[in-house]
Amino acid sequence: MQRHFDEQLQELREHLLAMGSLAETMIVKSVKALMDRSEALVQEVFTHEEEMDQRCIETDQRCFTLLALQQPMAGDLRFIAAAIKINSDIERIGDLAVNITQATMSLIGQPTLSLLIDIPRMAKLCQEMVKKSLDAFVARDAELARIVIESDDSVDLLRDQVFKELLSYMIADSTTVPRALDLILISRYLERIADHATNIAEDVVYIVRGEDVRERGDKEIRKGLRQPADITPEIPRAEQEAALAAHRLMPEERAFLELLESAAHNLLNAARVLQAMFEEYTDPAEKWRQIREAEHQGDAITHDIMKKLNRTFIPFIDRQNLHALTSALDDVVDFIEATASRMVLYKIERPTQQSREMVAIILASAEQVVKAIVDLPRFAGVEEICVEINRLENAADDLYRRAIAGLFEGEQPILEVTKWKEIYELLEGVTDRCEDVANVVETIVLKHA
């Protein structure tokens, strides 16, 4: 029996290595597509995304089957629990490679800026970080993991250098602005790939040595790039009004913005009802009904935006970004509704403490989403809000990992484990969708501010 279990663990290691190799391939091809202006490589990356998603699902199934049937202890349990989190990190790396190719599509056919050379350097370093972090995971090599963690600062420096040099290009020649902005976005996607590789390495150190080496607070605070949220100076109302006056919106632009604000407030309403469901838990079916109404309302708002977009020649935000933002807002509400439905359909007797904590993070994320959308016209301060949403998503990831591991401590009925596994995944998915909103908003600010 033990020999069979060891073989299954080895298969899991190999499966994760294959996913990591695919992620490396996607990074390489996405940047090569940028350098060669190759539409064929762009399509290859899109094809790899489908394969990555399928592998992610299969890895989850492997992990939870092992946890349910083998009931591992100590090191094996930590290994499988970490594999679940690492599986998610690798999938997100694949998504970021796709984001790079999407930005590349708008650059194909345009002249190349000379400092593109720094982007491949970032990509090479990110690729090495992904490979080394997975090698460290499989070999349980804490020293190799620490090398990956230390490499993260090098990627940050390259990102800053890319931004400064591109900024000088934009100042010197305004015709380079659209291309430079796309390259800045690509550098940010690469920096986030490095962050996910660092997450994997930090998990390795914890598995091997029991040390929690995760950064206390996010990198922006640690590096002095922004202040913590609790001491961020409040912008006086007069300055806010002056900033709004500086950006005069046309009636059509205002109409789009009002629809986006309605979608954001509808999202926040759904999050508040979800929190009431988990905190009180007196009539979950009624709370689900209210959330379903919010979900229907969100669909109606989405339909209105899309219909208006088809009739408007120049929207407030360019069509691609407006479509992405609208869809991202709608996805958040969909995930909230899916979570509420499982609580009722699965006849959950009472929420767990971890689920309540995750819902609290969801509500905090929803509040930040509303702030981001409301502040969108004046742009100033929006990036700080997006950073906070990303921080909350990271906190939800950590809580999700602990919650999943907790399902397999002691002897719980397999049916209950299965139910809560899906609920935790949906809760974590809500924060992922909020991060998607933040990423789109950040892109809009970068292009329009």
Owning domain of residue 341:
235-448
Tell me, yes or no, whether 92 and 9 share the same domain: yes
Longest dimension (CA), the chain: 72
In this prediction, residues 83-95 reach a mean pLDDT of: 83
Tell me, yes or no, whether 263 and 412 share the same domain: yes
Three-state secondary structure call for residue 7: helix
Which CATH number goes with the domain that contains 325? 1.20.58.220
In this prediction, residues 403-427 reach a mean pLDDT of: 81
> For 171-211, how does the pLDDT look when each residue is reduced to its tens digit (9 = 90+)?
787 777 777 878 887 888 888 899 889 988 888 887 777 66
Distance, CA of 170 to CA of 178 (rounded, Å): 9
Q: Is the pTM of this model over 0.75?
A: no
For residue 399, is it within any domain?
A: yes
User: What pLDDT does residue 72 have?
Assistant: 59
- Give the ranges where 37-113 is alpha helix by DSSP (H): 39-70, 74-107
Tell me, yes or no, whether 176 and 115 share the same domain: yes
Tell me, yes or no, whether 209 and 106 share the same domain: yes
- With residues binned 3-state (H G I as helix, E B as strand, rest as coil), the percentages for the chain, rounded to 5, are 85, 0, 15
Domain count, the chain: 2
> For 301-330, how does the pLDDT look when each residue is reduced to its tens digit (9 = 90+)?
888 887 777 666 555 666 677 777 888 898
User: What pLDDT does residue 5 have?
Assistant: 67
Tokens of 165: 């040099």
Last residue in a domain, options 198, 222, 246: 222
Tell me, yes or no, whether 66 and 93 share the same domain: yes
Residue 1 has pLDDT above 60, yes or no: no
Residue 155 has pLDDT above 70, yes or no: yes
> For 29-38, how does the pLDDT look when each residue is reduced to its tens digit (9 = 90+)?
998 888 888 8
Q: Which bin fits 110, alpha (ψ -120 to 50), beta or left (φ > 0)?
A: beta
